[in-house]
Amino acid sequence: MIRGLICLVTLFYAMASFAEVPQHYIIGRGIADVTGPAVGLQLWGFGRPDQIGEGLHIRQRSRAFIIAQADDPASRLVFVSADLGSIDHHIVLDVVERLQQRFGRAYNLDNVILTATHTHSGPGGYWQTRTTSGLDGGLYPEHYEAIVQGITDSIVKAHNDLQPGNIFVATGEVLDAGVNRSAVAYLENPAEERARYEADTNTTMTVLKFVDDTGAIGMLNWYALHPTAMNFHNHLISGDHKGYAALQMEREHGSTYASEGDFVAAFAQSDPGDVTPNTNLDNTGPGATDVETTRIMGERQLLVARQLFREASEELVGPVDSRRIYVDLSRYRVQARFTGDGEQHTCPSAYGYSFAGGSSEDGGGHFLFREGMTEQSVWLDWLIRLVTGVPRWTEAVHACQAPKPILFETGSGDPPLQSQIHSVTVARIGQLVILALPVEVTTMAGRRLRDSVQSELGDWARYIVLAGYANGYAGYVTTPEEYQLQQYEGGHTLHGRWSLPAYQQVASQLAGALESGATVADNIRYDDWRGKSVGLPLPVGSAKTPSGERHYGDALPMLKREYESGETVTIDFWSSNPTAHYVTGNNFLRVEYRTPAGWQVVADDGDWSTRVRWRLEDDAFMAELSWEVPDDAPSGDYRISHHGFEEAGHAFSGVSETFRYTTE
Q: Mean pLDDT for the chain?
A: 93
Q: Could you report the per-residue pLDDT of 211-220, keeping only the tens digit for each?
A: 999 999 999 9
Strand runs labelled E in 550-609: 562-564, 568-575, 589-595, 598-604
Helix (H) or strand (E) segment spanning residue 59: none
Average pLDDT over residues 557-571: 94
Which pLDDT value is given to residue 106?
97
Which pLDDT value is given to residue 9?
39
How would residue 360 be classed by pLDDT, with cut points 50, 70 and 90? confident
Which pLDDT value is given to residue 17?
44
Top-ranked range on mean pLDDT: pick from 266-275, 282-291, 351-360, 535-544: 266-275
Which pLDDT value is given to residue 15?
45
Say yes or no to pLDDT of 20 above 80: no
- Class level of CATH domain 562-662: mainly beta
Say yes or no to pLDDT of 511 above 70: yes
Which pLDDT value is given to residue 391?
79
Whether 229 and 277 have beta carbons less than 8 Å apart is answered as yes
Give me the residues paired with residue 654 across strands: 642
Amino acid identity of 113? I
Which pLDDT value is given to residue 135?
55
Say yes or no to pLDDT of 608 above 70: yes
Which pLDDT value is given to residue 365?
81
Which residues in 611-632 are b (16+ Cβ under 10 Å) and which e? bbbbeebeebbbbbbbbbbeee
Give me the residues paired with residue 166 across strands: 211
Helices (H), 253-373: 290-311, 336-339, 353-357
Say yes or no to pLDDT of 323 above 50: yes
Strand runs labelled E in 174-302: 179-180, 204-212, 215-223, 236-237, 264-269, 275-276
List the chain domain ranges.
22-326+420-516, 562-662
Helix (H) or strand (E) segment spanning residue 659: strand 659-662
Which pLDDT value is given to residue 130?
73
Helices (H), 238-328: 240-252, 290-311
**What's the rounded Cα separation, in Å, for the pair 445 and 427?**
19
How would residue 228 be classed by pLDDT, with cut points 50, 70 and 90? very high
Q: Could you report the per-residue pLDDT of 239-250, keeping only the tens digit for each?
A: 999 999 999 999
Say yes or no to pLDDT of 11 above 70: no
Say yes or no to pLDDT of 16 above 60: no
**What's the rounded Cα separation, in Å, for the pair 76 and 412?**
38
Q: Could you report the per-residue pLDDT of 146-164, keeping only the tens digit for each?
A: 999 999 999 999 999 999 9
**What's the rounded Cα separation, in Å, for the pair 562 and 658?**
10
Q: Could you report the per-residue pLDDT of 84-141, keeping only the tens digit for each?
A: 999 999 999 999 999 999 999 999 999 999 999 999 999 999 999 876 555 556 899 9
Look at 14 and 548; give whichever has higher pLDDT: 548
**What's the rounded Cα separation, in Å, for the pair 341 and 79?**
36
Which pLDDT value is given to residue 14?
43
> What pTM was estimated for this model as a whole?
0.95
Average pLDDT over residues 440-459: 98
